[in-house]
């Protein structure tokens, strides 16, 4: 692992699938969560696990699309979860897994020089955005 791109891809994997130094990775925390638990609000005004999962999926997708050069707005974040059924929860987890897999694959196609490119319509580089994605996973796993 001798490139910065490889190290970032590794960090994304560690935060999501495992071998993170801090404890359980994001995806493992969701393994035993059922639809009822995922949809529950633990406190007034708090987001449910389901809402947070969709929020994480949304932002992983935004990062991947911005890496591809798209100008992506934040419209659509924090939408309603819909029917809280086991089948819908399973679909939500599949979407989360797919978004993570696509982002890591996109990162692995980059060169280290690509990390210095400024994200279209933003004031930061791909490097900053990708480290932000790592941080976002850890923040919500906490």
Lowest mean per-residue pLDDT among 15-19, 101-105, 113-117: 15-19
75 pLDDT higher than 90: no
98-19-102 Cα angle (round to 5): 20
Give percent of the chain with pLDDT exceeding 70. 99
pLDDT in tens, 24-63: 999 999 999 999 999 999 999 999 999 999 999 999 999 9
Per-residue tokens: 107: 């990162």
Q: Which domains, and CATH codes, for the chain?
A: 4-141 (1.20.120.450)
For CA atoms 103, 108, 110, 111, give the dihedral sign: positive
Residue 1 banded pLDDT, cuts 50, 70, 90: low
Q: What is the mean pLDDT of the chain?
A: 94
Determine the pLDDT at residue 88.
Answer: 97
pLDDT in tens, 105-134: 999 999 999 999 999 999 999 999 999 999
| Residues shown for the chain | 142
Determine the pLDDT at residue 115.
Answer: 98
Residues 116, 112: Cα–Cα separation, whole Å? 8
């Amino acid at each position: 692992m001798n490139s910065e791109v490889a190290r970032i891809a590794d960090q994304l994997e560690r935060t999501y699938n495992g071998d993170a130094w801090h404890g359980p990775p994001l995806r493992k925390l969701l393994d035993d969560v059922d639809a009822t638990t995922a949809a529950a609000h633990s406190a007034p005004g708090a987001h449910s696990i389901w809402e947070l999962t969709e929020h994480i999926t949304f932002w992983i997708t935004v990062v991947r699309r911005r890496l591809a050069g798209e100008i992506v707005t934040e419209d659509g974040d924090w939408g309603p979860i819909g029917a809280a059924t086991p089948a819908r929860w399973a679909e939500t987890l599949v979407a989360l897994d797919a978004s993570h897999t696509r982002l890591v694959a996109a990162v692995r196609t980059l060169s280290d020089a690509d990390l210095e490119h400024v994200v279209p319509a933003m004031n930061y580089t791909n490097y900053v955005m990708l480290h932000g994605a790592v941080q976002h996973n850890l923040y919500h796993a906490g």
